[in-house]
Amino acid sequence: MRQLLTILLAFLGLGGSLCAGLYDPDQPVLDLAKEGPLQALPFDLFRGRMADVMVVGLATPETPLRKAALETRDKLKGAKTPAELIRRGIVRLKLREVDGALADLQQAYGRNPRNYWAVNVLGTAYLATGQASEAARYLEAAGDLVPADWPARAAAAPVEAALLKLARLRQREQLTRPGRRTPEAVDDLFGTQLNAPGAAKPPADAIAIVQQMLLWLPDDARLYWLLGELYRATDDLDSAIIILNECLDSRRFDTKELRESRQAVLAAIAARPVPAGPEWKPSETRWWLVAVVAGPVLLVLIWLQVRQIARRIKV
């Protein structure tokens, strides 16, 4: 539990910095690129980190992670500077206090409309709350404000580009298909028909990009579905089926294409050849050991049986 609390403290800016997309203005680093290029986490580790982020927003049961977030929010009650308002807005967003979070971030933006961190975080928050048009507007504006001396700029570039593209894709959907609550297709974030016959493989950093985005948008079931399709496209069927099952079951995200994808993954798993175990061959040494141990026992049993028969004959 202490380790989980340490992870949260780092995420909330109490013991270091915040995750990318929801940046701490004083220490803006990416969670998946702290010491170099962007790198995907092993699947189990990634799911654990995402669960830590999600649990902060659960009112019951009140976990140590949520308590730490609430304490951080309360300590920032008198926030005035853009940096303080951004930190409080991020914490409130993770606590699912959506209105309060947007109010804090709007206030930070109002204090300095050319503050990259305020503009970027506000755009990310709008995307997290399903307001794609507002998200696209702020994320586009953030692109012109990126600090040239930001050490993590190169590592963040593909992630920020994907974040903006996602906002634009969903903005277009909301404008052209109003009223459709559950999108039918996976987000075409990488310009390919994932897992379609003859489809090109996704970019090498695609899984890392989507993992990082999900650490900012952990409630986004459709983005989680995309991660499952990426694992499927890279032949990691075991990770893919876990994600697709969670989308359909615990996340209650259900589309025809998603169900068909799960069936295809299940069929591929069932068709995998069963690995042959090492061929068993009897060992001559083992046979001699069995003979040495079992032989005398067998002779004693035979002798006892013969003696019993002989006694019956005498009687």
Predicted confidence (pLDDT) per residue in 50-75, tens digit:
999 999 999 888 899 999 999 999 99
List, for residues 231-243, the tens digit of each pLDDT value.
999 999 999 999 9
Residue among 4, 54, 34 nearest 224 (CA): 54
Residues 5 and 97 in one domain: yes
Range of the domain at 26: 1-151
List, for residues 165-207, the tens digit of each pLDDT value.
999 999 999 888 766 666 789 999 997 778 888 888 899 999 9
Q: 156 pLDDT exceeds 90? A: yes
Residue among 166, 155, 209, 167 nearest 28 (CA): 155
| Mean pLDDT of all residues in 128-142 | 96
Structural domain contains residue 91: yes
Residues 97 and 186 in one domain: no
Label residue 228 by pLDDT band (50, 70, 90): very high
| Mean pLDDT of all residues in 138-144 | 96
Q: 13 pLDDT exceeds 80? A: no
Domains held by the chain: number: 2
pLDDT at 180 (0 to 100): 64
Largest CA distance in the chain: 115
What is the C-alpha radius of gyration for the chain, rounded to an integer number of angstroms? 29
CATH number of the CATH domain containing 28? 1.25.40.10
Residues 115 and 185 in one domain: no
